[in-house]
Amino acid sequence: MTRSSTEETYLTPGEVLTNYPDLPKNLNWTASDLGRLVKCYVLEGYYDRKRRTSMIRESSLKRLISYVNETIDSQKIGLRA
């Protein structure tokens, strides 16, 4: 379920994995990994005690994915012929 507050969308880890199906395939991220990233302040969000789940700010997730992609691209080895 999403929660909007002035253009800020929050997603549960399950919703993140549903909306971004490449995360588990390419980065091996699970719902518990996403919750841990919120707990360790890598992702912005909070723990919703009523739902008993982490709520992840979608914009911070997009920034993290962008950072991961840039890091992976910078580690590619070029071959000169």
Burial class (CB in 10 A: 0-12, 13-18, 19+), 65: middle
Query: Which of the pair, 81 or 21, is modelled with greater confidence?
Result: 21
Q: Alpha helices of 1-81 — where are they, by DSSP H?
A: 13-19, 22, 31-39, 58-74
pLDDT digits (tens, 9 = 90+) for 7-22: 789 999 999 999 999 9
Report the pLDDT averaged over residues 56-70.
96
pLDDT digits (tens, 9 = 90+) for 40-53: 999 999 999 999 99
**pLDDT greater than 90 at residue 78:** no
pTM of the model: 0.80
Cα 39 to the center of its chain, rounded Å: 12
Distance CA 74, CA 50 (A): 41
